[in-house]
Amino acid sequence: SSGINAEWPLRPGNQGPLHIDVSGSKVAYYDYSPASSHLTVLLLHGMRFSKENWKTLGTLDTLLQNGYRAIAVDLPGYGDSEPMLGLSHEQFIRQFIAKVDSESTVIVSPSMSGEFAIPVVFSEPAILAGWVPVAPVSISSHKLSEYQALQLPVLAVYGENDNQFRKQVEEYLGAIPQVTLKMIPEGSHPCYLDNPDLWHETLIKFLSGIK
């Protein structure tokens, strides 16, 4: 089904790569959907990565096997997605979520993709069911008091050896009332690559606690 122009609904089954139009630009993504699911996990990616990493790592399959709809998207200008003109990062995420009919969305945002997730988390947390920041950039774009006031289930993941981001994750994200902090032992900045089994186990456990 490579190159198909997706018209929703397509489930169930493993779908992709698919392409949809967001504000005049082509966006590429995978959509792994069970027959029914109460949560959608939207997987963003870091600067050196793309939607393909979540397929190769087994995250898409793991989420599907556990009954979750899993979507991995190439962010604008990365992978097979065209650059986005005239849309903010926040607007792109909101429009993409609407386009793929994603309800009860949990956003996974490693590294660079924090620039896309964090504005949504703070401007309209009601459209999200949860947030999984993985040592994201832009943490300090919001005050500590804003994190302390955030009402959203959060799983904050970081690597033990990620000296650049570890302190910020612990200080800022650790202040969120409904946070679970998870350090990956001996993990680097993209710590999910260092221990995929622990990453998947931690993610599924967190998702199972979201009603």
Catalytic residues: 111, 162, 189
Paired sense of beta strands 40-43 and 105-110, if any: parallel
In terms of Cα–Cα distance, which of 49, 89, 54, 82 is closest to 70? 54
> Could you write out the DSSP letters of every residue in the chain?
-TT-B--S---SEEEEEEEEEETTEEEEEEEEE-S--S-EEEE---TT--HHHHHHHTHHHHHHHTT-EEEEEPPTTSTTPPP--S--HHHHHHHHHHHTT--SEEEEEEGGGHHHHHHHHHH-GGGEEEEEEES-TTGGGS-HHHHHH--S-EEEEEETT-TTTHHHHHHTGGGSTTEEEEEETT--TTGGGT-HHHHHHHHHHHHHT--
Residue 58 φ/ψ, nearest 5 degrees: 95, 5
